[in-house]
Amino acid sequence: MTPRAAASVPQTKPHDARLEARISADLHTTVKRAAEIQGRTVTDFVVHALQIAASQAIEEAYQIQLSLADQQAFAQALIAPPKPNAALKRAFAKSKKLLAA
């Protein structure tokens, strides 16, 4: 399973892990108010926000990894370009005809 696919898999197992965090009274008030606005419990609001943040962090890391791999492939193609294959030669010939017209 790719990191992208893993990030979007919904939680289907029973809740068997616990997470605790100490936060300021101001943040608690803000989270409580946001949960009320959305009609959620504070726990549901925090779990939902945590799922979104975690998925986004994984997605961003995956994109960065792909970007680095793509950069390396691009640089390698510039350093040692492959020889033109038959399809590329036909494309160049066709473009010369089109541009000459």
Domain hosting residue 90, numbered range: 3-10+21-100
Tell me the angle at which helices 25-37 and 42-79 cross, rounded to the nearest 10 degrees: 90
Q: Please report where in the chains the tokens 């616990």 appear, as a residue.
A: 18
Distance CA 84, CA 100 (A): 22
What digits encode the pLDDT tens for the residues 17-54? 999 999 999 999 999 999 999 999 999 999 999 999 99
Residue 91 counted as domain residue: yes
Q: Kindly report the pTM of this predicted structure.
A: 0.56
All residues at 6 or more sequence positions from 6 whose CB lies less than 8 Å from its CB, including other chains? 58
Which is more confident, 23 or 8? 23
Instruction: Please count the structural domains in the chain.
Output: 1
- Are 31 and 46 spatial neighbours (Cβ–Cβ below 8 Å)? yes
Residue 65 counted as domain residue: yes
